[in-house]
Amino acid sequence: MQTHVVLPTVTTPATPVLSATSGTRWPASLWAALMLLCGVLFLDGLDVSMVGVALPSIGSELHMSTSSLQWVISGYVLGYGGFLLLGGRTADLLGRRRVLLLALGVFAAASLLGGLVNDPTLLIAARFIKGAAAAFTAPAGLSIITTTFPEGPSRNRALSIYTAFGASGFSSGLILGGLMTEVGWRWTFLLPAPIAIAVLIAGIKLIPDHGRPDGPRQGYDVLGAATSTLALLLLVYTVVSASSVGWASPITLGSFAVVLALVVAFVMIERRVAHPLLRLGILRNKNVLAADLTAMAVFGSYAGFQFIGTIYMQSLLHWSPLSMALAFLPAGLIVAFGGPRTGALVNRFGAGRIVALGLASFVVAYGLFLQIDANPNYALAILPSMVLLGLGFALSFPALNIQATTGVGDDEQGLASGLVQTSFQVGGAIALAVVTAVLDAAAPRTTAEVIASYHPALAVVTGIALAGLIATVAISGLRKPAAEQEPALEPELAQV
């Protein structure tokens, strides 16, 4: 008899299919399933950071300008942010394992496509497809965890480990991206393909197939899905293209007007349809609302900062991709080693306090980076910011994922996971577009003017992080929540 973990089907929130209490040692089968899901997030972090390191090399070989080069990143964000809400709800309705595995296959195929094309448009299209695939893997994987582990210390511990793997993937991608770019930037696209295939094969073996969720079949909100996806796609596209066509141009203003009309239509649909894609009442949960707004600030500020840092180190200082990766590495290492311990801090102090502390660290980190010049002393001008960035991510990223799924029923965990992931990506797209517009507007000629052009962009990044800090304090406050007792449930295993 071989023991397998029974992973969740959609049940009532009071009856988790599998749980591991704070006083129970997790079985090997549960660890194997968790590590598989961690591998999915590791892959996402690896892919994003590898391509980010390769941007200057891609632009040089394919003759892409700074404004067009941002689409290599923004194309991924467009697909990711545009389909996340749909991906999360699809996982809830059609089965999380099925959605996860199918999307992993598409992710692997898109990785191969991106590494083989020579046309910038096809390269951006491949990134869009890969982002859309990740929009289904991310909420499916996260919701499997949140429905497998009961709310409380066990879930907080699992999510801390899970998010630390994402940071480890990101920091590993910086080094691997630097090494691969030295050989050829195409390898930064090709390398994730075999990893995705390996994770896919492992997922088939480690995640039991329970088919569609039990219970009555719910109708699928096709109109709501189409409206929300179009609104998110158009929003992300508008903000990332505004830097080239102009924020006050008729095209940009008209696009924003259409986005607003689609949002209004979506809200009206969700209020009337029998089985909505997004139950609007979920936003009355302060944990969900605070986490979603703060997630936009966390990833938005960092996406803008990384873009500035990459251009500064490689284009101005002429550092190699590997040297730039090593410069960012301390931040990733701090998250990798500190992230798994964040769950214990959340248990003791509450998610709101930990998120606020992380955002305060971001604000200081970005402010310190303003002292950069044409001949920086790494230990004095750059390293302090990297250390504080690592601390900020180690604290805020796990805490936000915990906060975003707290008080949400099992049947809406995919939705809650999709919402917070959507917030991360939309925040990144908007901030990156604004930062790019600020940098393009400067049109510097001398080295001193280039350095000066970074200051207003860094001020924008710092302001975004500060806005997130204010939002999390205003909504969730800094009071320690009442102690929550985790239900004393025995792990339920199936003998197969």
- Residue 385 is predicted with a pLDDT of 95
Separation between Cα atoms, residue 95 and residue 144, nearest integer Å:
10
The answer for 215, left when phi > 0, alpha when psi is -120 to 50, beta otherwise, is: left
User: In one letter, which amino acid is 397?
Assistant: F
CA 374 to chain centre: 32
Q: Going residue by residue through the chain, which has 496 residues, state the pLDDT in tens, using 9 for 90 and above.
A: 333 333 333 333 333 344 444 446 788 888 888 899 988 888 887 887 788 778 888 888 888 876 677 778 778 877 887 787 778 778 878 888 899 999 999 999 999 998 898 888 899 999 999 989 988 998 888 888 888 888 788 888 888 888 888 777 877 777 888 888 888 888 888 988 998 999 999 988 888 665 555 555 555 677 887 888 788 778 877 877 776 788 889 999 999 999 999 999 989 998 888 777 778 888 888 888 889 999 999 989 998 898 899 888 888 888 887 788 788 888 888 888 888 888 888 888 888 899 999 999 999 999 999 888 888 999 998 999 999 999 998 899 889 988 888 888 777 777 787 788 778 878 887 888 788 878 877 667 788 888 888 899 999 999 999 999 998 888 877 665 544 444 433 333 233 2
Separation between Cα atoms, residue 197 and residue 178, nearest integer Å:
23
* Alpha helix (H) residue ranges in 369-412: 383-404
Chain position carrying tokens 């600030």: 297
Per the CB < 8 A criterion, the answer to whether 306 and 298 are in contact is no
Pick the closest to residue 407 from 295, 312, 482 (CA basis): 482
Q: CB count, 10 Å around CB of 31? A: 14
CA 131 to chain centre: 11
Non-local (6+) Cβ contacts of 202 within 8 A are: 36, 39
* Alpha helix (H) residue ranges in 149-281: 153-183, 187-190, 192-206, 222-245, 250-272
In our burial notation (b when 16+ CB lie closer than 10 A, e otherwise), range 108-144 reads: bbbbbbbbebeebeebbbbbbbbbbbbbbbbbbbbbb
pTM of the model: 0.75
- Residue 212 is predicted with a pLDDT of 59
Chain position carrying tokens 């929550």: 484
Per the CB < 8 A criterion, the answer to whether 42 and 29 are in contact is no
Separation between Cα atoms, residue 78 and residue 225, nearest integer Å:
16
- Residue 210 is predicted with a pLDDT of 59
